[in-house]
Structure 1
Amino acid sequence: MSHAGYIDPNVLIQTEGLKVYFVRGGFLAEKQITKAVDGVSIKINKGEVMALVGESGSGKTTLGRAMIGLQKPTEGKIIYNRDSSPVVITPKTKIIKHIRRELQMVYQDPYSSIDPYMKVYDALSMPLKYSKIKDKEYINKKIEEVLNMVGLPLDLVNNYVFQLSGGQRQRLSIARALSLDPKFLVADEPVTMLDASLKGEIVDLLKKINKQTGITILFITHELPIAKIVANRISVMYKGKIVESGRAQTVLKDPLHPYTKVLLEAYPKINPESKDTIKTINVKESKIDTSKIQGCPFYDRCPFATQKCLEKMPDIKSMSSDHEVACWLY
């Protein structure tokens, strides 16, 4: 396994020019390439919660999976800055087991991510046994510890997973990920499948775990209001590219990229003096073959697009110490 040169000691994990392409067809059918992640370079600091925001199909989940070794990159690299020495993950890297256990994921759907006919004890002990941990006393102690962390009573260990509510299943999913003491956790739309009354509980739980353990979290969501609550920083992703990033309050208070503005305008603004209204931004209807767009992927929808936007993708530009944008308007 290769090692990196100098990287910022405050950064836990970063990507450099990361690409993940999916190819369909070939031989008899014409090849079709989907650029799920297209040259993404981001840094996530130790102990922070970063929100990765974008609509469905923007590549958020693929990026998260690639960062923890569940998806093989096509090009570029991921640098995981372990305490001992940095580890570089490339298309040729085979991730060894003790690295994998430090990079964990909480999946979107708690109903399909854990076998409903398993007992809670087995669901929590299986990852530990897979990691060659055989000490039953240690396993029992760790299960009790993670159940306490996620707010589930210990007497649930003998229940079957299908007997749990949706909120309890998602807490179990988080507990299972935490059982291996990971350094980095990807939470992939962890509240999307829950009703409104439970969303706040899970968000608060992840924030509490972050503060208590110092675990670094990548929180994937399409809901900017949730990103505002949970994250220190926000990166906005559209069609495989990061178009804007910065401190959460900065990005939400003063969005720069037209796509970020579209996402914000999609949510109602609360005005106690009048009825709530949903603002809209004029997004043009696409009349161009998107395969011909060599530049900004938002070109076909952006009301401010120019010929330059069609021909060349802008580099990420620093607008302040805590705000970056990839847009020819700036």
Structure 2
Amino acid sequence: MVTRLPVGSTEDYRVRVRNLKVYFATGGRIFGKKHLTKALDGVTLTIKKREIMGVVGESGSGKTTLGRVTLGLQKPTEGEVYIKTDNEEINVVKSKVKVVGRYAQMIYQDPYSSIDPIMRVYDVLAMPLKYRKEENIEEKIKEAMNLVELPLELLENRVYQLSGGQRQRLSIARAIIVDPEYVVADEPTTMLDASLKGEILKIIKDAREKKGISFMLITHELPIAKIISDKITVLYLGKVVEIGRASDVIKKPLHPYTQSLIEAYPKIDPSLRDKPKEIKIKIDVVRPEKGCVFYPRCPFAHDRCKEKEPELKEIDQDHYVACWLY
């Protein structure tokens, strides 16, 4: 469903998510009730135009589900998702996937399974353009190849002839060649060597600068989010526990879970290597029936945490946390 907006609308956002919930029935009953897995439970966030929003958290935190819902690939149990162009607002939940696909694309984690290996590189890039009946196909393919720094000589190669890094570049080129407003990059560097990760992040930044694309960067690597993101959202078991400017979240983490994620990474500075960890959380992941979703693992949990769920609260400018410590 597409809603026309007044040209020059002052609402400065590209993607708007409100109270998003995705519940899965996992089979069986507990005390006569169906057991539900809450992949997302009340997620609210906004991605501005030309902004890169890093979404971080452990496996199972709901990162990929969030990305898929914002693209219309997964229907939510409840909540709203909107993508805004210069003069239109797309209701993602009520729109067909092919409608959302005009404005939003995805870079998948695994370039080996997301691209047909026997296709020619040229055909991989030409197919979405032909489907949309675009003009100047040759010019657009050349522009995309240059942006992701792939030599034009590879256009006649089969995908299986490319290296892993080249396949991921091709995956990015395929996503941006149709000039989307918004792209979800799902762990785009996970399957790459450390030497290639910086190059892929540079390509994403260049795509933002040259094409004005907004990105949701999904990653479990906080250093990756720190390098490239304007803002960082921290997810834990489907809940947003902290959100703010990337520099604030990394330098002044407020939530104990965010602090533990940062402490988990090795310190490059030798003077910090022997420093004892300030946050030690329990390993077992248990989702409580009520209260703060993190309290079973939190070293600072008290009675209030077990009874009532904290709401996101602005502690510093544009820096929000859901924790009873504040």
User: SS of the counterpart of 1:157?
Assistant: helix
Query: Counterpart amino acid of 2:183?
Result: L
Query: How far does the alpha carbon of each residue in 1:71-129 deviate from its partner, in whole angstroms, 9 at most, with x for none?
Result: 11110110212211322233xx1326343221000000111110111111111112222
Structure 2 partner of 1:122: 123
In the aligned structure 1, how far is the partner of 2:26 from the partner of 2:90?
31
Query: How far does the alpha carbon of each residue in 1:192-223 deviate from its partner, in whole angstroms, 9 at most, with x for none?
Result: 00011111111111112211221111111111
Residue 277 of structure 1: how far off its partner (Å): 6.7
Query: Counterpart amino acid of 2:174?
Result: R
User: TM-score if structure 2 supplies the norm length?
Assistant: 0.92
In the aligned structure 1, how far is the partner of 2:189 from the partner of 2:175?
16
1:23 to 22, 25, 29: 25
For structure 2, which runs of at least 5 residues remain unmatched after alignment? none
Change (3 A) 1:276 1:216: farther
Higher mean C-alpha displacement, 271-280 vs 307-316: 271-280
In the aligned structure 2, how far is the partner of 1:102 from the partner of 1:31?
37
In the aligned structure 2, how far is the partner of 1:281 from the partner of 1:109?
33
Query: How far does the alpha carbon of each residue in 1:5-45 deviate from its partner, in whole angstroms, 9 at most, with x for none?
Result: 99962111111101111223269x97331111111000001
| 1:60 equivalenced with 2:58 (yes/no) | no
Structure 1 partner of 2:209: 211
Structure 2 partner of 1:306: 302
In the aligned structure 1, how far is the partner of 2:166 from the partner of 2:288?
47
Residue 273 of structure 1: how far off its partner (Å): 4.8
The answer on whether the counterparts of 1:314 and 1:328 sit within 8 Å (CA) in structure 2 is: yes
Structure 1 partner of 2:229: 231
- Report % sequence identity: 55
Aligned alpha-carbon RMSD (Å): 2.4
In the aligned structure 2, how far is the partner of 1:132 from the partner of 1:56?
39
Query: Counterpart amino acid of 1:231?
Result: S
Residue 293 of structure 1: how far off its partner (Å): 2.8
Query: Counterpart amino acid of 1:100?
Result: G
User: SS of the counterpart of 2:113?
Assistant: coil
Change (3 A) 1:155 1:277: farther
User: SS of the counterpart of 1:236?
Assistant: strand
Residue 285 of structure 1: how far off its partner (Å): 5.5
Which stretches of structure 1, 4 residues or more, deviate above 4 A after TM superposition?
2-8, 273-278
Query: Counterpart amino acid of 2:18?
Result: E
2:266 to 251, 268, 274: 268
In the aligned structure 2, how far is the partner of 1:38 from the partner of 1:297?
10
1:37 to 35, 40, 64: 40
Query: Counterpart amino acid of 1:252?
Result: I
2:193 to 184, 195, 211: 195
Change (3 A) 1:293 1:204: same
Structure 2 partner of 1:112: 113
Structure 2 partner of 1:328: 324
Query: How far does the alpha carbon of each residue in 1:170-207 deviate from its partner, in whole angstroms, 9 at most, with x for none?
Result: 00000000111100011000000001111111111111
Residue 142 of structure 1: how far off its partner (Å): 1.3
Query: Counterpart amino acid of 2:319?
Result: H
Query: How far does the alpha carbon of each residue in 1:150-186 deviate from its partner, in whole angstroms, 9 at most, with x for none?
Result: 0001111110101101110000000000111100011
2:244 to 243, 246, 250: 246
In the aligned structure 2, how far is the partner of 1:178 from the partner of 1:321?
33
In the aligned structure 1, how far is the partner of 2:160 from the partner of 2:88?
42
Query: Counterpart amino acid of 1:9?
Result: E
Structure 1 partner of 2:293: 297
User: TM-score if structure 1 supplies the norm length?
Assistant: 0.91
For structure 1, which runs of at least 5 residues remain unmatched after alignment? none
The answer on whether the counterparts of 2:56 and 2:219 sit within 8 Å (CA) in structure 1 is: yes
Count of equivalent residues: 323
User: SS of the counterpart of 1:123?
Assistant: helix
User: SS of the counterpart of 2:111?
Assistant: coil
Higher mean C-alpha displacement, 94-103 vs 246-255: 94-103
Structure 2 partner of 1:13: 15
